[in-house]
Amino acid sequence: MEVVVAQSDVTAIEVDVLVVNLFEGVTKPGGATGAVDSALGGVITELIADGEITGSASELTLIHTPNNAYPNFSPSRVLVVGLGSSDSFDTDGIRRVSASVIRKLRSSGVKHAATIVHGAGIGGLETSSATQATVEGSLLGSYRFLKYRTTDKKRKPDVGKLTIVEADSAKIDEIKTGIERGVAYSQAEILARNLVNEPANKLAPADLAATAQSVANENGLDCIVLEEADVTKLGMGAYVGVSQGGPRPLKFIHMTYAGDSANSENNLWLIGKGITFDSGGISIKPGAGMGKMKGDMGGGASVIAAIQAIAQLKPKLNVHVVCAATDNMPGGSAQRPGDVVTAMNGMTIEVDNTDAEGRLTLADAIGYAKSKGAERIVDVATLTGAARVALGDGVSPLFGNDEELVSSVLETSSKVGEPMWRLPLDSVTKRQNASKIADLKNTGGRGGGSTTAAHFIADFAGDTPWVHIDVAATSMLDSTRGWMPAGATGVPTRSLIELAMSLGG
């Protein structure tokens, strides 16, 4: 879908559908909705009085306005969307409403729609961020993964063009900024979704590396890919141990955006778990639901996707992306429970359970980042089933060792509508990772599964400022929620972009 701005009176724009809005409880619409109401002889006011339009959140009312009946009104139809209560309205509300609207437009066969920016009038939100949220809701809300659906002939095509219409010339520049950001953020999140939705037989570590390489080529980034021999030489025994159970070669991906090359220490390292399929290894998973483990590279997908938008929006800091990609398979040469491996930083790990593989790969990815001078690390991982037990699938557990970085991530995540909640790294759960034979074991036993996993990673982050986001529950959904479709959500791609924008702003 193409998104453009037009400086025009709403009544004069030639489109299939014009989208306007209404807060709950408003009996006489103002602004653009008021202008439409007047041009249509008060039909919206009348529908409010009749009780058909109430303004409740995502209420959709389509009014047909054929040209012969309304010669001075250009749009063929008007869609009035309810915004809900004006006190609680925020950019999440905009994304939610825009997603409902775009799906309604698609199901009505609309090719070209125009919309006002939701929330910028009496909603009181800044024009550029309200525009960005309108664009994000529209692009993310209309997402479908149709690549492997070849026989459905009746499917409605996507809306081809969305025009953001604004009469006030003073707001056009802000709207352009909002569109540019909304498009970049959404395209990145969609890339992450596509990678997560891709079946494991179509996405080996080499395919993830090829995607990273093409993102780099298209956006002027550096990208290096280390092979098994390279990472073995670097001492990444924990990572190599995970990969040895399957035939598809590991790929260690390192992408760089140099936004402040004069100050190499002004850096942010984004590390994503990149398990292209997690069978559990020898500690094999039960069959039911195992197919979802094609998405165990969701963290890696989100960091690769985020750096694409970062390269386009150019914040002033250096961003590095690392993804230690591999399958976790139970082949004859697989590592066994009880094995001891040595990580890049020299620490030894007892592999108590081969299904706790993510933390093993992250240990070496972090070791690498630290060896290259990482000043701040954010890792993203579909790490523990316990994340869902703790917080459900609407909020990602977050852990960290640095108050400032933790606050920055929490702030940016709530701004973009990807909720996170900090859990403690307490000393009691930390002891659960103690091994009798090695420095650490990769499981923490009963209780606090997300926390013991985080403690494990914390030991490799050491004193480098670090945040860990567990997206095991939030990376994929069973059913559509607002702008997030069933399947991959792309979370937390937009949080990472926003973080880089705020750190390098």
| C-alpha triplet 115, 121, 124: angle, nearest 5° | 130
Nearer to Zn ion, 84 or 358 (CB): 358
Spatial separation of the C-alpha atoms in residues 36 and 38, rounded to whole Å:
5
- Taking contact as CB under 6 A, which single stretch among the options 102-110, 131-139, 348-356, 367-375 is the one that binds ligand BES? 348-356
- Taking contact as CB under 6 A, which single stretch among the options 93-101, 205-213, 239-247, 353-361 is the one that binds ligand BES? 353-361
Per rule CB under 5 A, is residue 364 in the interface with Zn ion? Answer: no
Range list of β-strands (E), 103-258: 112-115, 161-166, 222-226, 251-258
Per rule CB under 5 A, is residue 327 in the interface with Zn ion? Answer: no
Contact residue for Zn ion among 358, 419, 449, 487 (CB under 5 A): 358
Contact residue for ligand BES among 312, 345, 361, 384 (CB under 6 A): 384
- Taking contact as CB under 5 A, which single stretch among the options 125-133, 198-206, 253-261, 353-361 is the one that binds Zn ion? 353-361
Nearer to Zn ion, 268 or 275 (CB): 275
Amino acid of residue 232: T
Contact residue for ligand BES among 232, 342, 353, 435 (CB under 6 A): 353
For residue 230, the Cα-to-chain-centroid distance in whole angstroms is 31
Per rule CB under 6 A, is residue 382 in the interface with ligand BES? Answer: yes
Spatial separation of the C-alpha atoms in residues 13 and 145, rounded to whole Å:
32
* CA separation, residue 362 to residues 229, 337, 346, 459 (Å): 18, 18, 14, 11
Contact residue for ligand BES among 59, 92, 278, 364 (CB under 6 A): 278
Bridge partners, residue 466, by sequence: 377
The nearest distance, CB 321 to ligand BES, in angstroms, is: 20
3-state secondary structure of 174: helix
Residue 474 main-chain phi, psi, to 5 deg: -95, -10
Nearer to Mn ion, 16 or 357 (CB): 357
Query: What is the set of active-site residues?
Result: 285, 359
Nearer to Zn ion, 275 or 453 (CB): 275
For residue 430, the Cα-to-chain-centroid distance in whole angstroms is 30
3-state secondary structure of 276: strand
Asked whether the beta carbons of 413 and 497 are under 8 A apart, the reply is no
Per rule CB under 5 A, is residue 278 in the interface with Mn ion? Answer: yes
Range list of β-strands (E), 8-149: 17-23, 60-64, 77-84, 112-115
Spatial separation of the C-alpha atoms in residues 264 and 262, rounded to whole Å:
6
User: What does 134 interact with, of Mn ion, ligand BES, Zn ion, none (CB < 5 to 8 A by kind)?
Assistant: none
Nearer to Zn ion, 33 or 276 (CB): 276
Find tokens 């606090």 and name the residue.
448
Within 8 A by CB and 6+ apart from 2, the residues are: 160, 161, 162
Question: Interaction with Mn ion in 352-371: which residues (CB under 5 A)?
Answer: 355, 357
Contact residue for Zn ion among 296, 459, 470, 498 (CB under 5 A): 296
User: What does 384 interact with, of Mn ion, ligand BES, Zn ion, none (CB < 5 to 8 A by kind)?
Assistant: ligand BES
3-state secondary structure of 202: coil
Contact residue for ligand BES among 59, 92, 296, 364 (CB under 6 A): 296
Hey, what are 191's tokens?
């890339």
The candidate with the shortest Cα–Cα distance to 135, out of 164, 106, 111, 160, is 164
- Taking contact as CB under 5 A, which single stretch among the options 91-99, 273-281, 407-415, 484-492 is the one that binds Mn ion? 273-281
Per rule CB under 6 A, is residue 472 in the interface with ligand BES? Answer: yes
* CA separation, residue 110 to residues 13, 15, 156 (Å): 15, 9, 9
- Taking contact as CB under 6 A, which single stretch among the options 13-21, 117-125, 190-198, 380-388 is the one that binds ligand BES? 380-388
Asked whether the beta carbons of 356 and 443 are under 8 A apart, the reply is yes
Per rule CB under 5 A, is residue 470 in the interface with Zn ion? Answer: no
Per rule CB under 6 A, is residue 358 in the interface with ligand BES? Answer: yes
Per rule CB under 5 A, is residue 272 in the interface with Zn ion? Answer: no
Which spans of this chain sit near ligand BES (rule: CB under 6 A)? Answer: 278, 296, 353, 355-358, 382-386, 443, 449, 472
Which spans of this chain sit near Zn ion (rule: CB under 5 A)? Answer: 275, 278, 296, 358
Which spans of this chain sit near Mn ion (rule: CB under 5 A)? Answer: 278, 355, 357
